[in-house]
Amino acid sequence: METGAKKFTYKTLVMAVSTVLGVAVTVLALWFLQKLLVPKYQRGVVEGSMIEEYYDSNEPHEVLFLGDCEVYENISTVTLYENYGISSYIRGSAQQLTWQSYYLLEDTLRYETPKVVVFNVLALKYGEPQSESYNRMTLDGMRWSSSKWNAIDASMTDGESMIDYVFPFLRYHSRWDELTRTDFEHVLDKDRVTINGYYMRADVMPEAEFPSPMPLSDYTLPQSAMDYLMRMYELCRENDIELVLIKAPTLYPYWYEQWDAQVRQFSYDYNVPYINYIYLRDIMGLDMSTDTYDAGLHLNIYGAEKFADYIGRYLTNSFELTDYRQIPEVAQQWEDDIVFYDALRDAQLAELQQYGELRSWGANAIES
């Protein structure tokens, strides 16, 4: 009788232990598999790593840039620091939509309150969610908060669902077939791909002639985008932040005059500065035969340094920004950034010297 009871308890114990172990192993395995299966955005297409990288940056940022590739490829944050002592961050991402910029601002305010927020207006042309892959690159990197939830909610295209964002595993599980070396190398930690949000390219491809823009039957900027611009304006006002609207100096995709007029009207109505740098290309000294790496769509490091120098002068003159070069703790961190910046530039230049093109960055680096 006694042994029977003992046996019973032993068996129950084994069952209990194996059940608990089973649950634990499952949860752990799913967590690990999620880490393994989500895209890493470490080579070629690095744009998906940018939003997340912000949380690793420990400096205070007085200037925050929001927008798409027209900010993250066109403005050198290091130049802003070196020339003016501005400590800035670019929370840019590929085809960042206006509401995504708004929610990224909300998100950033949870960590710090910049003095100036610079928003690039090109995205105002989009009134509706555009593409899942861009959504993913912008949204997956955000830390969880109501802002992320709302950003996802506003951005989903048909066929996307919230649950796939909550558990990216559900979206990416079928990548088991396409895993690359990078996926295995960066399961748990990721390499840095930007310098405070600036994505560097050191190659050169002169600007070509763009086709003439397609005439539109209606040039009204979508109301939904303008509403979020309004919310951005109000959020800045509540937090004593100066909002600045810019249009980057690149010409394609085309920025219609009619759109420009509407943004100017907004700038006039709400007393928000708006600068269209397309008109200032010559003044800032942009030479589009050397300052772009993709025939004029985006600036390379030479262009980005010129544009940063120009916009930096405006920012220092217009707002009371701290010269962080004078503040040792911050300066020390920036020195590290500069080291990284220089090394990255030198590595790219070396590859250009060797192959005549970049192999470890950009399209050539995309793994298949």
Residues lying near other proteins in the complex (CB under 8 A): 11, 14-15, 18-19, 21-22, 25-26, 29-30, 33, 37, 44-45, 47-48, 68-69, 94-95, 131-134, 137, 158-160, 163-164, 169-171, 173-174, 176-177, 208-212, 214-220, 252-253, 258, 294-295, 297, 363, 366
> Least separation, in Å, of the C-beta of 95 and other proteins?
5
Give me the long-range contacts of 28-37 (CB less than 8 A, separation at least 24).
30/169, 32/187, 33/169, 33/173, 34/167, 34/168, 34/169, 34/172, 35/187, 35/188, 36/179, 36/183, 36/184, 36/187, 37/169, 37/172, 37/173, 37/175, 37/176, 37/179, 37/183
DSSP tag of 177: G
Distance CA 266, CA 229 (A): 9
> Least separation, in Å, of the C-beta of 198 and other proteins?
15
Nearer to other proteins, 47 or 53 (CB): 47
Nearer to other proteins, 160 or 287 (CB): 160
Nearer to other proteins, 148 or 171 (CB): 171
Q: Which of 201, 194, 198, 181 is nearest to 40 (CA)?
A: 181
Nearer to other proteins, 132 or 260 (CB): 132
> Least separation, in Å, of the C-beta of 217 and other proteins?
3
> Least separation, in Å, of the C-beta of 83 and other proteins?
27
Nearer to other proteins, 113 or 133 (CB): 133
> Least separation, in Å, of the C-beta of 137 and other proteins?
6
| Helix and strand numbers, DSSP H then E, in the chain | 14, 5
Nearer to other proteins, 87 or 93 (CB): 93
CA dihedral 257, 291, 130, 171 (to 10 degrees): -170
> Least separation, in Å, of the C-beta of 99 and other proteins?
17
Q: Supply the angle between the helices 223-238 and 257-270 in degrees, to the nearest 10.
A: 30
Q: Indicate if the alpha-carbon torsion angle 113, 168, 46, 334 is positive or negative.
A: positive
